[in-house]
């Protein structure tokens, strides 16, 4: 039994959550990593910029890690690379556009020279240690997306990455159905498949549908048109540009990330822009209203994005005018619904006509619905099935779907990040666990903000802070100056003088009591002040501000 060759599958992110996708595959003393994504923080992670996977396991086995292969250029698949490459400089494999987007990111982090990037094409096979890694074209909401087939001595592991089975993709790059089926015919050991849309029956609509909706909307619009979407959705940008050209409108781009992606995609040939179509913002402002389309970021209602600033009337170059048609060509990511609703309200207030999600065909998903998921299973006919990319309930539902299609229950594994699944040719078993989790990035700090800092931030954000400064004579223990109280975010000081005066008296009383009892230890005096003051303020206000006593001795 133990002589049987085994390959291990170790998810380091993206299971039980949407985002920060990362998967390790281990054979012998060799580890291959698929994707290296980040995630935007939930609201309770106050002040955190991004969340990345914990790579302790890779660092502990650094001499075994061979490379990182990328499926596509979305943040949740490449966004953690600038942080990870700094600790683990590995060769990175990806398709042309994926690496193009990545390079832009690395440049921002000053890493473009150090990173070793290998460009691959669909159907390429590269040898990485004992792995033969093959890239297979799939359609998705960013061009140049691939699945990977990892051929190991135990068998072939197919990791779909994000995909949909679009029969009429905008760029004509159809999913390589033939190759998936061929692999299925030869025998696939394990399929790891995208669970994001498992709750949706039927098929995900083709991206081309959006083109038809754009056409109708552009035909009816009498004045300016503003299209907000994800910067990385190059197909969507293409359709907006093509439609604008058809209706003899010029296109101007608003928002830094949109400008970046557009120029990379254009440069690499993934975006066809008819000559003279693109204009600068100041030129756009001089054109008649029925001659212009703006492409903008901010489809998620992000507070700093171009669309939000336009809606709030504080964008320097573009304002919303009555008669504008604003198309929000995206669905709010769970958690962003309120932000998006607020922007839509604001746009209506400015007199714009707003077309958003509720109207069908203005946005389609980039992920596979149930029938496409079934087709993927039928094409590859895997022995083992592991749902990936999804919250826990999605993984469970995807597992159920696989079971309904005849994969035996004992061959289906719903894993958690960090679990080690060992597969032989005949059987699979979870054999252990490695460190996995999240690392919080705040400004330049990676991982230095933990639970204690977050707890303080939470307290500060809820009830504010009170700083008590007092000067005490070292010998006699007598108060020489103060106590003075400074507060922020607790009460409005000018209207709360009596309360703060009373608070000062309480502190004075507490300090005197300490002297009487002969307490000289600073820490016990401080905690005495904190207790007395905390209790008093709670009684008076039902608030619990953070209390910071500062004692100076003379």
Which residue ranges make up the site for Zn ion (CB under 5 A)? 74, 76, 162
3-state secondary structure 89-152: CCEEEECHHHHHHHHHHHHHCCCCCCCEEEECCCCCEEEECCEEEEEEECECCCCCCEEEEEEC
CB of 231 to Zn ion, least distance (A): 13
Judge whether 36 and 77 are in contact, CB under 8 Å.
yes
Among residues 194, 324, 442, 463, which one is catalytic?
194
Q: Which is nearer to Zn ion, 18 or 279 (CB)?
A: 18
Specify the 3-state DSSP secondary structure of 343. helix
Closest CA to 192 of 405, 390, 430, 391: 390
Q: Which is nearer to Zn ion, 54 or 76 (CB)?
A: 76
Q: Compute CA 29 distance to the chain's CA centroid, rounded to the nearest angstrom.
A: 31
Specify the 3-state DSSP secondary structure of 238. helix
Q: Which is nearer to Zn ion, 21 or 528 (CB)?
A: 21
CB of 185 to Zn ion, least distance (A): 28
CB of 141 to Zn ion, least distance (A): 6
Q: Which is nearer to Zn ion, 160 or 487 (CB)?
A: 160
CB of 465 to Zn ion, least distance (A): 39
Please give the Cα distance from 441 to 113 (Å, whole number).
23
Among residues 367, 389, 398, 442, which one is catalytic?
367
How many C-beta neighbours within 10 Å does residue 197 have?
A: 22
CB of 77 to Zn ion, least distance (A): 6
Q: Compute CA 247 distance to the chain's CA centroid, rounded to the nearest angstrom.
A: 35
Which letter does DSSP use for residue 512 in this model? H
Closest CA to 485 of 475, 496, 476, 472: 496
Enumerate residues 6+ apart whose C-beta is below 8 A from 199. 394, 397
CB of 192 to Zn ion, least distance (A): 13
- The tokens of 51 are what? 């969340």
Judge whether 48 and 41 are in contact, CB under 8 Å.
yes
Q: Which is nearer to Zn ion, 64 or 365 (CB)?
A: 365
Q: Which is nearer to Zn ion, 189 or 231 (CB)?
A: 231
Please give the Cα distance from 537 to 503 (Å, whole number).
8
194 is annotated as an active-site residue: yes
Q: Which is nearer to Zn ion, 37 or 184 (CB)?
A: 37
- The tokens of 346 are what? 């604001």
54 is annotated as an active-site residue: no
CB of 113 to Zn ion, least distance (A): 27
Please give the Cα distance from 84 to 301 (Å, whole number).
29
Which letter does DSSP use for residue 217 in this model? H
How many C-beta neighbours within 10 Å does residue 377 have?
A: 22
CB of 366 to Zn ion, least distance (A): 6
Rounded alpha-carbon distances, angstroms, from residue 408 to 5, 371, 383, 500: 22, 20, 9, 69
Q: Which is nearer to Zn ion, 162 or 166 (CB)?
A: 162
Which residues are the active-site residues? 194, 367
């Amino acid at each position: 039994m133990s002589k049987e060759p085994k390959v291990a599958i170790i998810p380091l992110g993206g299971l039980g959550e949407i985002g920060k996708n990362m998967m390790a595959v281990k054979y012998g003393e060799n580890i291959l990593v698929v994707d290296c994504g980040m995630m935007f923080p939930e609201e309770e992670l106050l002040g955190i910029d991004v969340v990345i996977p914990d790579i302790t396991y890779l660092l502990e086995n650094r001499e075994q890690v061979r490379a990182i292969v990328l499926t596509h250029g979305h943040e949740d698949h490449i966004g953690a690379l600038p942080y990870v490459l700094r600790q683990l400089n590995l060769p990175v494999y990806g398709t042309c556009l994926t690496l193009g987007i990545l390079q832009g990111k690395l440049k921002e982090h000053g890493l473009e020279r150090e990173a070793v990037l290998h460009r691959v094409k669909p159907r390429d096979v590269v040898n990485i240690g004992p792995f033969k890694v093959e890239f297979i074209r799939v359609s998705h909401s960013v061009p140049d997306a691939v699945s990977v087939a990892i051929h190991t001595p135990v068998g072939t592991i197919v990791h779909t990455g994000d995909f949909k089975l679009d029969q009429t993709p905008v760029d004509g790059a159809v999913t390589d159905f033939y190759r998936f089926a061929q692999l299925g015919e030869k025998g696939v050991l394990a399929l790891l498949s995208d669970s994001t849309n498992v709750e949706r029956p039927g098929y995900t609509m083709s991206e081309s549908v959006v083109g038809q909706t754009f056409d109708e909307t552009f035909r009816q619009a009498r004045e300016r048109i503003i299209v907000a979407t994800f910067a990385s959705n190059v197909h969507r940008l293409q359709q907006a540009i093509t439609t604008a050209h058809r209706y003899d409108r010029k296109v101007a781009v608003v928002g830094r990330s949109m400008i970046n992606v557009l120029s990379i995609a254009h440069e690499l040939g993934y975006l066809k822009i008819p000559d003279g179509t693109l204009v600068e913002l100041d030129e756009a402002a001089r054109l008649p209203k029925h001659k212009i389309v703006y492409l903008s970021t901010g489809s998620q209602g992000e507070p700093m994005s171009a669309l939000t600033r336009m809606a709030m009337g504080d964008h320097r170059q573009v304002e919303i005018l009555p008669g504008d048609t604003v198309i929000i060509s995206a669905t709010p990511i769970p958690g962003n619904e309120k932000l998006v609703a607020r922007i839509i309200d604001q746009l209506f207030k400015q007199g714009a006509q707003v077309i958003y999600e509720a109207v069908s065909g203005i946005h389609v998903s980039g992920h596979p619905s149930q029938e496409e998921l079934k087709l993927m299973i039928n094409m590859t006919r895997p022995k083992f099935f592991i749902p990936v990319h999804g919250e826990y309930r999605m993984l469970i539902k995807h597992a159920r779907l696989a079971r309904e299609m005849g994969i035996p229950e004992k061959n289906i594994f719903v894993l958690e990040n960090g679990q080690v699944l060992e597969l032989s040719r005949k059987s699979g078993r979870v054999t252990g666990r490695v460190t996995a989790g999240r690392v919080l990035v705040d400004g330049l700090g990676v991982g230095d903000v933990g639970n204690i800092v977050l707890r303080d931030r939470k307290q500060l954000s809820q009830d504010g802070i009170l700083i008590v400064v007092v000067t005490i004579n070292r010998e006699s223990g007598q108060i020489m100056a103060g106590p003075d109280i400074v507060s922020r975010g607790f009460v409005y000081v000018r209207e709360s003088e009596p309360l703060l005066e009373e608070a000062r008296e309480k502190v004075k009383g507490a300090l005197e009591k300490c002297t009487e009892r002969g307490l000289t230890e600073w820490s016990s005096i401080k905690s005495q002040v904190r207790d007395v003051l905390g209790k008093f303020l709670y009684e008076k206000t039902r608030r619990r501000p953070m209390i910071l006593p500062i004692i100076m001795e003379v």
